[in-house]
Amino acid sequence: MRKQIWMPCVIVLIICFLLIIKTKHHQNVNLPVQSAAASNQSNQVVQPKAAQSSIAKNQQNPPAQHLEELTNIVYVETTPGKSNAINAHLLSQWQAPIEFYGMVVDENSNVVADANIHFSWQEIPAEDASRIFDTKSDSEGLFSLKDARGWTLGVSVSKQGYYISRKDNDSFRYGSLGGGKFSPDPQNPVIFHLRKKGAGETLIGGSFPSGMKIAQLHHDGTPVELNLLNGTQVPAGSGQLKLELWRDISDMKKQPFDWKLQLSMPSGGLVPTDEEFAFQAPESGYQPSIVIDMPATNQDWLGEVRSKYYVQLPDGKYGRIDFYLLPRNGVFTVSSSINPTGSRNLEPAN
């Protein structure tokens, strides 16, 4: 009787999980950028590349071609005469042996000892399915987990005085349902990164628009200028950052469509960066304008922009901005962090 109760629950859980996976899409990209000067001299556009962190995450997700197969397994399980074999198969996947080996390193690839390691997994059909195990990395930065059972394993790493990297993969599949599974190797541990906190400084800036407000760029290139020292919109000619968007509106339902964005800092400059911890502004290499050109014919066309830039203000101050744009309707946000002392250090004070 008890087995008859928990097995339908397992089936429902699997179906819900499939629906969640099927509707979840997430991708980070490095944008094709070029200086305004370069765009006037050449029509060549740098092609975007998928971020390594997104690739690592997506490798752990079930390939789409296996979702139908898994759905069929769940359906067949309810067919009389086949339930025992299918039940055993499902149970073997939900209780797959878990073994894991990891290593913690800092931003300079030096091992980090005594880091906090938190494991979490589900062991179905145990009455208390949630399982956790906490440990520490040893003197060589190594840690491991053995003698556990479940379908997926979550791993989180932290240590006081360090920043946690969000680029590391933290979920690993052991059951083969849905296709593919993680293979542990004690000779090749999974690397987790921490960044040691340094001497931070009091930064100024702000987020535009503030609160729950919405800001939009016009489709015809009408400029919007911002004061990066306080995150406010200012009249033309008085801001440190100027934003201009051109978007083809001949057919508002068309996707993809032609669009182009120009970010400018008159008498200042920008440097694109994909650093997770953008704490040290470069001394040189700043461009007065950066253009993101996205014709509809681009095979890597983007309908969303998430980018980060080091900036140098006209008075020589250094900072960083995080920029987001939805070209379809021009909705955008800008967050700025400026060091008022003139130092290139952009790490915030703790």
Residues in the chain: 350
Reported as a pLDDT band with limits 50, 70 and 90, residue 110 is very high
Q: Which carries the bigger pLDDT value, residue 16 or residue 318? A: 318
Q: Smallest Cα–Cα separation from 118: which of 98, 145, 139, 92?
A: 145
Distance CA 90, CA 177 (A): 8
Q: What is the pLDDT of residue 128?
A: 76
Cα–Cα distances (Å) from 109 to 54, 105, 158, 187, in that order, read 21, 5, 16, 17
In this structure, the number of other CB atoms found within 10 A of the CB of residue 68 comes to 10
> pTM of the predicted model, to two decimals?
0.73
Q: What is the pLDDT of residue 46?
A: 34
Is 37's pLDDT higher than 60? Answer: no
Average pLDDT over residues 169-195: 89
Q: What is the pLDDT of residue 346?
A: 98
Task: List all residues 6 or more positions away from 1 whose beta carbon is below 8 Å from its beta carbon.
Answer: none
Contact 318, 285 (CB under 8 A): no
Q: Which carries the bigger pLDDT value, residue 22 or residue 157? A: 157
Q: What is the pLDDT of residue 285?
A: 97
Q: Looking at 47-61, 143-157, 269-283, 335-349, which range is the least confident one?
A: 47-61
Which domains are present in the chain?
Answer: 2-24+61-196 (2.60.40.1120), 204-338 (no CATH)
Mean pLDDT of the chain: 82
Distance CA 262, CA 242 (A): 8
Q: What is the pLDDT of residue 82?
A: 56
Is 176's pLDDT higher than 60? Answer: yes
Cα–Cα distances (Å) from 23 to 17, 18, 125, 137, 172, in that order, read 10, 9, 26, 36, 20
C-alpha 343, offset from chain centre: 29
Is 70's pLDDT higher than 60? Answer: no
Reported as a pLDDT band with limits 50, 70 and 90, residue 89 is confident
Q: What is the pLDDT of residue 88?
A: 77
Q: Looking at 39-43, 99-103, 218-222, which range is the least confident one?
A: 39-43
Q: What percent of the chain has pLDDT over 70?
A: 75
Render pLDDT for 198-214 as a digit per residue (tens, 0 to 9).
Answer: 999 999 999 999 998 99
Render pLDDT for 261-279 as a digit per residue (tens, 0 to 9).
Answer: 999 998 999 999 999 999 9
Reported as a pLDDT band with limits 50, 70 and 90, residue 54 is very low
Is 73's pLDDT higher than 80? Answer: no
Is 259's pLDDT higher than 80? Answer: yes
Distance CA 326, CA 214 (A): 12
